[in-house]
Amino acid sequence: DTGVSQNPRHKITKRGQNVTFRCDPISEHNRLYWYRQTLGQGPEFLTYFQNEAQLEKSRLLSDRFSAERPKGSFSTLEIQRTEQGDSAMYLCASSLDWTGDYGYTFGSGTRLTVV
């Protein structure tokens, strides 16, 4: 297992375009999280899944954002009508157990630049 994989690594898009990111968690991990990290800040929680169920969404996640995890495996995060304020690193993490005591494994992130 090569860990949590995120694609693409970098995305440059024009304002108003839609973008979609993919996250492949560690195969046996049942929890999957999305975070957003802006320059010089710590990651901020966006949403998480337990298997295929999306259990919580942050208030940071506007209506332009949607996330899915079909079949409880990989996940996609889509941003519609991108804005310059969406420019950030989008991080995905997965964990094995519901307590998270084994820690989370983070992917390397997708860096989005909206021009």
List residues binding other proteins (CB under 8 A): 4, 31, 33, 35, 40-45, 48, 55-56, 91, 93, 95, 98-101, 103-109
Q: Which is nearer to other proteins, 58 or 87 (CB)?
A: 58
CB of 80 to other proteins, least distance (A): 24
Q: How far is the CB of 107 from other proteins (least distance, A)?
A: 6
Which residue, 88 or 93, has its beta carbon nearer to other proteins? Answer: 93
Q: 82 or 107: whose CB is closer to other proteins?
A: 107
> DSSP of the chain, one letter per residue?
----EEE-SEEEE-TT--EEEEEE--TT--EEEEEEE-TTS--EEEEEEETTEEEEE-TTS-TTEEEE-GGGS-EEEEESS--GGG-EEEEEEEESSSS-TT--EE---EEEEE-
